[in-house]
A and B are shown apart, each in its own frame.
Chain A
Amino acid sequence: MRNAMKVARWELKRNLKNKSFIIGLFLTPAILALFLIVPSLFSDDEVEDVHLFITDELNIFDTLTDIAEGEGWENVTIEETNLDHDSMLDVVFRESQTAYLEITEKHMDEGSIPLYINEDVDDSFTFQVRSLEDPINLIQLERLGLTQEEIETIASGVSFDMTYEEDVGASTNEGEVIIESDGLFSGDDPLKRAVPGAFAGIILFSIVMSGMMIFQSASQEKKDKIAEIILSSLSPGELMQGKIIGYFALGLIQVFVWIGLAIPLVMWKFDIAIFEYLFVPELIILLAIAVLGYLLFAALFVGLGATMEDVSTSGNFQGMVLMLPFLPLIFLGPILSNPSGLIAQIGSYIPFTSPAVLIIRLTLLDVWPWVEIALASGILLVSVWIFMKLAGKVFQVGILMYGKNATPREIWRWLWM
């Protein structure tokens, strides 16, 4: 282990002194920040004032202005108009930032009140003006001759009263309805899961990406023909372990630099107390899954790197293995639409997809499927162990084979040597 740590330190130091790594380390968050900031620089946050004209045959203008005030419409000026339909249309289509709401007896009877909006008016106005629909609906009900009590009953509507099993616990009263739910952001603050999930996701992404650098490192070691010199001082197993540890540390440094730069930006841009959401017990499980994912891919890549001298001449087999970290993308759509669905569950049990799939699912789900998590983590753990063993065998033989890339048949033979 001492030798493995020496290799790890060397790999870390070598990469931290490498200009392209340092440039990538700071350029990646800079580019992301650019994508985040630049559009907002060009977007016009200042919404211009809208002039809303209302024809009011029902005498509800005061009620509507009160509602607008209550809702805090700062950018809308409401004015009652006596002009006829055509004249008002002429005004709306001629003058920018104008809208016209035509509340007439006829339209009330038809149940459809026309709202004409000039094309320059911001889309947010249409959402704003919808808050007038409910009071107009109440007036409609009054016009139908319903009592105040009937109106209130209708207005309050019917809704599900969500109660979760975990909230009720074992002492559920008989007869009480328990609604099973996926708990997809069900009423809770979505950031509660999203922030630790995103953090673990970034860690997984970063360390798997740096894990791909192991592949280059092993392959380069063959190309530079230094492997035999190194192996005169330590065992192939120690060299492999050292690389895995070194690139893990490199990935963590990368992720902490990225997050260190991103957190102040996100806090400034979105005004979110990230640390409160981040440091929760769930983060430990998410991080453990990310680390297992890294170890799996690191084993795969270090073994693969030892079979190749030049990445540009890699065959289909090696190319396919390099694509494995991106396999979870095929599950992304089904997981987002149903994080507890069959596809999501299958993705959780396939070792190559399970780290990313689990992290995405656990980010989306409010209630965690603990049995599935335990089973998937178990499969992942066993897979990591198996792949480490296999990678060790491939690495031992492959790292000293010069002059050509190994064929799948040769790799297969090495596994059983």
Chain B
Amino acid sequence: MNDVMLSVKNINKTFKTKQVLHDVSFDVHKGEIMAILGPNGAGKSTTIRNIMGIMYPDDGSIIFHNSAGAQIPRNKIGYLPEERGLYKNVKVMDILLYLADLKDYPLDRAKERALLYLKKFDLEGKENVAVEELSKGMSQKVQFIASIIHEPELLILDEPFSGLDPVSQDVFKQEIRAIADAGTAILLSSHQMNLVEEMCDRLFLMNQGQRVIYGTLDEVKTAYANFKCTIHGTNERSLYEQIDHVERMEILDDVATLYLEKNVHVSSWLRQLPETLDIRELVIDRISLHEIFIDIATNKGQTIDSEEGDIHA
């Protein structure tokens, strides 16, 4: 888990006059799933394209630790870009073997793995079918197989779940986890916070080209995800306002969500709730990654200092 596979160090990138990446730095370790998150236009895909050598940073460095020399070890990297597709009028097996060949992977082994994964993704018997005859979901699965067919040491997945139905999302989730457990370092970009929360070991949240949060999921939650208490019951707003240690509240019909202060002691706080409070249901948990993300995307999270955001490096 501590073997660093990839280090991105202080990369900057400017398009025309707009700086799209500001001192972006993070590491990806062997066997972990590292999520790179952020709203649209945050700079995630640009960061990934810089790692892949599709474009180059203005300054900073990208280091592949298992590779000698300055060249990007393309053969050791698997890449599933956000904007992706396949040649339409070729057979599934032909394209998988072509992409494996480009990675210098032995073709007989590639064929074996292709058949194995086609079976795993419920595409058995589709190897001689033209890509244009596949559904969107099937095509997504073939693209995913193409990115892992050569047993990469580093796998970069840019929005791997987009366009997938929940069943396929689960299949992908399990497979990504299995690949990471087998030792592959995975850098994953996604908007689906629930999936990221379930899967990733560490995350790098960025906005407007800058790091906002960086650390393990637990560390991020501890540092940024305060507790929130959701109460179902018929109560006056004034009654909620009497409760201490509440930063803000949202009340919708009979459901009130109380966002608690950072260092509140939950059990003590629960004991001081008014006895007259009508409680049909009460849930207390931390703010989800999704809510943190929304805060960031709507600029509520801009108050987080970039240094403060460096939880774990």
Contact = CB atoms under 8 A, between A and B. Distances in A.
Given A232-B52, A400-B54, A18 B89 contact: yes
A150 interface: no
Contacts of B77: 232
28 contacts: A3-B102, A6-B98, A6-B102, A7-B102, A10-B98, A13-B94, A14-B90, A18-B89, A220-B87, A221-B87, A224-B85, A225-B83, A225-B85, A226-B84, A226-B85, A228-B81, A229-B79, A229-B81, A229-B86, A229-B147, A230-B99, A230-B102, A232-B52, A232-B81, A233-B74, A233-B75, A234-B74, A400-B54
Nearest to B101: A6
A109 to B, nearest CB: 81
B143 A228 contact: no
B88 interface: yes
A232 B79 contact: yes
A68 interface: no
A89 interface: no
Contacts of B80: 229
Nearest to B45: A228
Interface residues of B, number: 26
Contacts of B53: 235
B87 A14 contact: yes
A133 to B, nearest CB: 67
A233 B98 CA distance: 11
A209 interface: no
B103 interface: yes
Interface of A: 3, 6-7, 10, 13-14, 17-18, 220-221, 224-226, 228-235, 400, 402
Nearest to A236: B54
B114 to A, nearest CB: 15
Nearest to A397: B55
Given A13-B94, A229-B79, 15 more contacts: A3-B102, A6-B101, A6-B102, A17-B90, A220-B87, A221-B87, A224-B87, A224-B88, A226-B84, A226-B85, A226-B87, A228-B54, A228-B81, A228-B83, A232-B81
B6 interface: no
A232 B89 contact: no
A234 B99 CA distance: 11
A128 B296 CA distance: 97
Nearest to A402: B83
B90 A228 contact: no
